[in-house]
């Protein structure tokens, strides 16, 4: 393939770039080197365009686009809402408009499009819990109850056909990008695969930035000789997927595009449900640091549990994650930070 890789200098992009090259593909990276992510802006060189996806351009000699460029983060502050829309929604729109005769697109989406995960009530079956209430959280009631009877709910795995429920500007802009890409595919006869990444971790993970995920935050704390601080009661569930497994999901999806329908979404997670308390404990132990403390603090915008089934991707494309959490966290601890 002759691939245009947007966001190829970022955390995930760097690994996708390496994987594409290792598989023998030709790669052109388009990356803006946003100053809030990158300290330095390199000179353009062969195979690298330093530029913003929002600037219209033409792409010659490209048959497949992998669109990772985005403003990431929690997306909860209203101050940033226009930057999310501009960087992610408008950025995707301008890129789509610039694709010309290119017909193959992999779009980096996120589990965040679902909002809360799947929940089942013993009496009412599958239910959508209501918004989290500060009164509950302040009193240590972190599990969302059944909205009909108040009974405890059983968290489960989200599949791709679950209704999206984006809860912040980042989530809304990522879902909007999926919709725009699907529109492009219908209009042009192109094919788009949207990969809904779970919580990605691994070497090069950004840290000490507002965008740092919890695994990087815990690692930084341990390296400073501090105790990882686990919010809520530590029982919140996520699926941590290694960045190299993400890279193989991207390259497999890109190669499969010619045989795919106009629009397909795949969840991309390790398949292992983990609690934040377990991740903290595992990291502390692997590092030989102080055991984590559970603080009861919370971030109001957080969801309680979100875990997905990645079976569709495994069955359709034969993707198989190579890292289990323990090997992956050891890899994270042994690596340099991004």
- Rule CB under 6 A: say whether 81 interacts with ligand UD1: no
Question: Using CB under 6 A, which of 15, 17, 238, 312 touches ligand UD1?
Answer: 238
Q: Per-residue x/- marks for ligand UD1, 281-300, CB under 6 A? A: ------------------x-
- Rule CB under 6 A: say whether 87 interacts with ligand UD1: no
Nearer to ligand UD1, 18 or 76 (CB): 76
Nearer to ligand UD1, 186 or 299 (CB): 299
Question: Using CB under 6 A, which of 65, 95, 112, 308 touches ligand UD1?
Answer: 112
Stretch that binds ligand UD1, among 30-38, 77-85, 106-114, 116-124 (CB under 6 A): 106-114
- Rule CB under 6 A: say whether 302 interacts with ligand UD1: yes
- Rule CB under 6 A: say whether 88 interacts with ligand UD1: no
Helix axis angle, 325-333 to 276-287, nearest 10° = 50
- Rule CB under 6 A: say whether 194 interacts with ligand UD1: no
Burial string for 9-43 (b: 16+ CB within 10 Å, else e) reads bbbbbbbbbebbeeeebebbbbbbbbeebeeeeee
Q: HEC string of 176-194?
A: HHHHHHHHHHHHHCCEEEE
Helix axis angle, 214-223 to 276-287, nearest 10° = 30
Q: HEC string of 59-93?
A: CCCCCEEEECCCCCCCCCCHHHHHHHHHHHHHHHH
Instruction: Tell me which long-range contacts 14-17 makes (C-beta under 8 A, separation of at least 24).
Output: 14/204, 14/338, 15/202, 15/203, 15/204, 15/243, 15/244, 15/246, 15/247, 16/66, 16/68, 16/246, 16/247, 16/250, 16/251
- Rule CB under 6 A: say whether 211 interacts with ligand UD1: yes
* Percent of the chain as helix, strand, coil, to the nearest 5: 35, 20, 45
- Rule CB under 6 A: say whether 110 interacts with ligand UD1: yes
Residues pairing with 305 in the sheet: 237
- Rule CB under 6 A: say whether 177 interacts with ligand UD1: no
Nearer to ligand UD1, 144 or 190 (CB): 144
Nearer to ligand UD1, 118 or 238 (CB): 238
- Rule CB under 6 A: say whether 205 interacts with ligand UD1: no
Q: How many CB atoms lie within 10 A of CB 145?
A: 17
- Rule CB under 6 A: say whether 214 interacts with ligand UD1: yes
- Rule CB under 6 A: say whether 38 interacts with ligand UD1: no
CB of 276 to ligand UD1, least distance (A): 4
Sorted by sequence, the CB contacts under 8 Å of residue 69 that are 6+ apart come out as 6, 7, 10, 13, 30, 31, 32, 53, 87, 91, 95
- Rule CB under 6 A: say whether 321 interacts with ligand UD1: no
CB of 205 to ligand UD1, least distance (A): 10
- Rule CB under 6 A: say whether 229 interacts with ligand UD1: yes
Nearer to ligand UD1, 63 or 302 (CB): 302
R_g of the chain computed on alpha carbons: 20
Nearer to ligand UD1, 102 or 217 (CB): 217
**Interacting residues toward ligand UD1 by CB under 6 A:** 72-75, 110-112, 170-171, 199, 211, 213-214, 217, 229-231, 236, 238, 276, 299, 302
């Amino acid at each position: 393939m002759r691939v245009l890789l947007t966001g190829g200098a970022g955390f995930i992009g760097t690994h996708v770039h390496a994987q594409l090259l290792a598989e023998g593909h030709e790669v052109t990276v388009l990356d803006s080197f946003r100053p809030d992510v990158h300290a330095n802006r390199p000179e353009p060189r062969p195979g690298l365009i330093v530029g913003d996806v929002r600037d219209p351009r033409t792409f010659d000699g490209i048959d497949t686009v992998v669109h990772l460029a985005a403003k990431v983060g929690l997306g909860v502050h209203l101050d940033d809402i226009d930057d999310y829309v501009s960087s992610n929604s408008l950025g995707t729109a301008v890129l789509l408009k610039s694709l010309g005769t290119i017909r193959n697109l992999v779009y980096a989406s996120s589990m965040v499009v679902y909002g809360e995960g799947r929940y089942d009530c013993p009496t009412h079956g599958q239910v959508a819990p209501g918004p989290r209430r500060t009164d509950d959280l302040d009193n240590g009631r972190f599990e969302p109850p059944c909205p009909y009877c108040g009974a405890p709910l059983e968290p489960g795995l989200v599949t791709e056909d679950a209704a999206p429920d984006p809860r912040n500007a980042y989530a809304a802009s990522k879902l909007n990008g999926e919709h725009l890409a699907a529109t492009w595919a219908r209009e042009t006869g192109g094919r788009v695969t949207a990969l809904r990444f779970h919580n990605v971790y691994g070497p090069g993970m950004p840290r000490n930035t507002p965008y740092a995920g919890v695994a990087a935050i815990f690692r930084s704390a341990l390296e400073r000789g501090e105790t990882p601080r686990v919010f809520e009661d530590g029982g919140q569930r996520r699926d941590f997927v290694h960045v190299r497994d993400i890279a193989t999901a991207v390259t497999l999806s890109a190669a499969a595009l010619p045989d795919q329908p106009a629009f397909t979404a795949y969840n991309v997670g390790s398949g292992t449900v983990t609690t934040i308390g377990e991740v903290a404990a595992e990291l502390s132990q692997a590092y030989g640091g102080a055991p984590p403390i559970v603080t009861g603090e919370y971030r109001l915008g957080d969801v309680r549990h979100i875990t997905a089934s990645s079976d569709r991707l495994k069955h359709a494309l034969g993707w198989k994650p190579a890292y289990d959490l323990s090997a992956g966290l050891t890899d994270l601890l042994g690596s340099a930070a991004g």
